[in-house]
């Protein structure tokens, strides 16, 4: 059995009782970053073997992990924050488990785009999740396509690239498009900056940007 276990975005209280129970029971915990996960595990006194599983090693070790699962081991996969597989490693392992008839179960829990979308004040009845935009190849082509998207759009972005990305959104979507940037969700310095793309871009140009970023943009009217 492979469990996909969501972990808190920042506030360690944002984990389900079932997730803690699973982490206490599995044989091995696969971690995107063992140092990050160790803080959560230590906080809840979970003492289980941990093993790194991330985008840089997943292709090399996925077969070995599936072999262990088929041999009877039970594992949990966690990422640094949120639900595994949402802009984080998991897909490759899940696909291989399904091929090899290893049971996979994803527990419900934290995912950064959900609170960012819901508290944005932008329509939530229809939306598309784009994750991180391509850094170079295909970026302009995708932005041109998204300029015609009528659903609310949700993106992840790094603090270093936020202002540049907002400026590109202004270029392709127009300065008056609705926008909300959520930063440091569930943490002490959580911020939700709402307004037009022009207003939100000006807000972040005037300050140093830190933390995890979710950008919600209204669809084409």
Q: How high is the pLDDT of residue 111?
A: 95
CATH of residue 142: 3.30.950.10
Q: Do both 134 and 149 map to the same domain?
A: yes
Compute the average pLDDT of residues 18-27.
98
CATH of residue 28: 3.40.1010.10
Which of 106, 122, 143 is the last residue before a domain boundary? 106
Q: How high is the pLDDT of residue 8?
A: 97
Distance of CA 130 to the CA centre of its chain: 11
pLDDT category at 36 given cuts 50, 70, 90 is very high
pLDDT tens column, 76-114: 999 999 999 999 999 999 999 999 999 999 999 999 999
Which residue is associated with the tokens 């609170």? Answer: 115
Q: How high is the pLDDT of residue 154?
A: 98
**Nearest Cα residue to 215 out of 206, 207, 191:** 191
Q: How high is the pLDDT of residue 193?
A: 97
Q: Do both 122 and 93 map to the same domain?
A: no
- Using CA atoms, how far apart are residues 89 and 77, in angstroms rounded to an integer? 9
pLDDT tens column, 47-73: 999 999 999 999 999 999 999 999 999
Q: How high is the pLDDT of residue 219?
A: 98
R_g over Cα of the chain: 19
Q: How high is the pLDDT of residue 17?
A: 97
Contact status, residue 201 vs residue 174, Cβ threshold 8 Å: no
Q: Cβ of 144: how many Cβ atoms within 10 Å? A: 10
Which of 78, 106, 134 is the last residue before a domain boundary? 106
Tell me the percentage of the chain whose pLDDT exceeds 70. Answer: 100
Q: How high is the pLDDT of residue 84?
A: 97
Average pLDDT across the chain, whole number: 97
| DSSP for the chain, written as a single string | -EEE--B-SS-TT-S-HHHHHHHHH-SEEEES-HHHHHHHHHHTT----EEE--TTTHHHHHHHHHHHHHTT--EEEE-SSB-TTSSSS-HHHHHHHHHTT--EEE-----THHHHHHTT-S--SSEEEEEEPPSSTTHHHHHHHHTT--SEEEEEE-TTTHHHHHHHHHHHH-TTSEEEEEESTTSTT-EEEEEEHHHHHHHHHTS---S-EEEEEPPP-
Tell me the percentage of the chain whose pLDDT exceeds 90. Answer: 99
Q: Do both 184 and 208 map to the same domain?
A: yes
Q: Cβ of 155: how many Cβ atoms within 10 Å? A: 22
Q: Which domain holds residue 83?
A: 2-106
| φ and ψ at residue 155, rounded to 5 degrees | -130, 150
pLDDT category at 214 given cuts 50, 70, 90 is very high
> How many domains does one find in the chain?
2
- Using CA atoms, how far apart are residues 218 and 173, in angstroms rounded to an integer? 9
């Amino acid at each position: 059995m492979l469990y996909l276990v969501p972990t808190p975005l920042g506030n360690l209280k944002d984990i389900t009782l079932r997730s803690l129970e699973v982490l206490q029971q599995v044989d091995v915990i696969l971690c995107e970053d063992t140092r990050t996960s160790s803080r959560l595990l230590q906080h809840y006194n979970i003492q289980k073997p941990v093993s790194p599983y991330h985008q840089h090693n997943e292709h090399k070790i996925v077969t070995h992990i599936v072999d262990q699962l088929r041999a009877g081991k039970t594992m949990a996969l966690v990422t640094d924050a949120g639900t595994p597989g949402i802009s984080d490693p998991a897909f490759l392992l899940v696909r291989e488990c399904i091929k090899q008839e290893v049971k996979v179960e994803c527990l419900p829990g934290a995912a950064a785009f959900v609170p960012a979308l819901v508290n944005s004040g932008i329509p939530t009845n229809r939306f598309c999740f784009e994750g991180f935009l391509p850094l170079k190849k295909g970026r302009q082509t995708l932005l041109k396509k998204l300029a015609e998207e009528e659903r609310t759009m949700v993106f992840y972005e790094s603090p270093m690239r936020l202002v540049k990305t907002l400026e590109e959104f202004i270029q392709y979507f127009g300065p008056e498009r609705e926008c909300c940037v959520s930063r440091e969700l569930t943490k002490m310095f959580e911020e939700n900056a709402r307004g037009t793309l022009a207003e939100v871009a000006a807000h972040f140009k005037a300050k140093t940007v830190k933390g995890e970023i979710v950008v919600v943009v209204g669809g084409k009217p």
